[in-house]
Chains A and B, each alone.
Chain A
Amino acid sequence: MCRQCKQTLAWLITTMLFFAIAIALVAGYVPTEATMGPIQKIFYLHLPVAIATFVACLICFAASVGYALQRDMKWDRLASAAARVSVVFCSVVLLTGMIWGKSAWGQWWTWSPRLTFSLVLWLLYVVYVMVRASVESPQRRAIIAAVYGIIAFLDVPLVYLSVRLMPDIHPASVELAGSMKLTLIAWFGPVFMLMFGLIALRFRIDQRAAELEKVESEPITAPGQMTWAGGAGSAL
């Protein structure tokens, strides 16, 4: 098995193991919160995934700045990978938030500032992915995506600050007992491992696709002569 296959497998097994521990803590260890009842348990998934979404958006922003300054396609691929992962994570944030809202507030959705800015964030990155798909020239796509990625990130501080600066139904902060804090920390581990792992995997796929495209566009010399920056065309 190649080095990258082993790395991917190790990441997969470790992340799954940490998720299993985190789920076990929610199911059997952490007590039910007195005011909100069992629905509060959604919080242990909702908050880490929300923070992971912000971090993925930050990676997209940083990579977009990197591309704008250096014009290196690796930055563009990293920004693209982070944006895709942020869409997936933001979808989970919205879904778990809606389920919480239905049970706690009696409605699936309300146009409160935090919920609205969160929906805008999801839409911004969905459009980012769509914009990328609509531009054919790689250089043009990269520069448009970099500018868009920098601007789209401006919504992240709005999501974070909205609940503090404006009246909102969404809680601004939550007081947690010791066991609840421990469970929350236990959820941050696998969620962040999954987020970083997915960005790395997506980046590697895009990187190899670009190399494959380059090789396929060149005249064929002899079989077995393809080389890969990722280490001899590794699996996964």
Chain B
Amino acid sequence: MTTGGYVIVAYVAGLAILWGYGVHLILAARKQVRRIEQHNGGKSCQSS
């Protein structure tokens, strides 16, 4: 692999891990909101 290839792999893999964890958390939060909606009869998010 060329040096440029190593740089691209490092950036793609590094950012994929960081953002992958972010996506994981956002999905977990959305799942949690659906659970709250079940409790509150469809309401979970109040406008402000």
A residues adjacent to B (C-beta < 8 A): 1-3, 5, 8, 12, 19, 23, 26, 37-39, 41-42, 45-46, 49, 85, 88-89, 91-92, 95-96, 99-100, 102-103, 191, 194, 197-198, 201-202, 204-205, 208-209, 212, 215-216, 223-224, 226, 228, 231-236
Nearest Cβ in chain A — how far from B12, in angstroms? 11
Interface contact B7-A42, CB-CB below 8 Å: yes
- Whole-angstrom distance between the alpha carbons of A194 and B7 in the complex? 21
Which residues does chain B contribute within 8 Å of A236, judged by CB atoms? 26, 29-30, 33
Most interface-central of A26, A103, A191, A198 (chain B CB within 10 A): A103
Interface contact A103-B21, CB-CB below 8 Å: no
Asked if A95 meets B10 with Cβ closer than 8 Å, knowing A88-B17, A194-B22, A212-B36, the reply is: yes
**Can you list 18 A-B pairs with a CB-CB distance of less than 8 A?**
A19-B15, A37-B3, A38-B4, A39-B7, A42-B11, A92-B14, A92-B18, A95-B17, A96-B14, A103-B6, A194-B22, A201-B29, A205-B29, A208-B36, A233-B43, A233-B44, A235-B29, A235-B33
Interface contact A198-B10, CB-CB below 8 Å: no
- Whole-angstrom distance between the alpha carbons of A232 and B26 in the complex? 18
Nearest Cβ in chain A — how far from B19, in angstroms? 8
Nearest Cβ in chain B — how far from A159, in angstroms? 18
The 6 closest A-B pairs by CB, nearest first: A233-B36, A232-B46, A2-B45, A223-B41, A99-B10, A3-B48
- Whole-angstrom distance between the alpha carbons of A46 and B25 in the complex? 23
List 13 other contacts, CB 8 Å, given A85-B21, A224-B40, A231-B46.
A19-B15, A39-B6, A42-B11, A88-B17, A99-B9, A99-B13, A209-B32, A216-B39, A226-B36, A233-B36, A233-B40, A233-B43, A236-B33
Interface contact A223-B10, CB-CB below 8 Å: no
The secondary-structure label for the interface of chain B is helix
Interface contact B45-A215, CB-CB below 8 Å: no
Closest chain A residue to B35, Cβ basis: A212
Which residues does chain B contribute within 8 Å of A100, judged by CB atoms? 6, 10
Interface contact B21-A45, CB-CB below 8 Å: no
Interface contact A45-B3, CB-CB below 8 Å: no
Which residues does chain A contribute within 8 Å of B36, judged by CB atoms? 208, 212, 226, 228, 233
Asked if A202 meets B33 with Cβ closer than 8 Å, knowing A41-B7, A89-B18, A92-B17, the reply is: no
- Whole-angstrom distance between the alpha carbons of A147 and B35 in the complex? 33
Which residues does chain B contribute within 8 Å of A45, judged by CB atoms? 10-11, 14-15
Identify which of B9, B30, B39 contacts A226 (C-beta below 8 A). Answer: B39
- Whole-angstrom distance between the alpha carbons of A96 and B13 in the complex? 8
Identify which of A26, A92, A201, A235 contacts B44 (C-beta below 8 A). Answer: A235
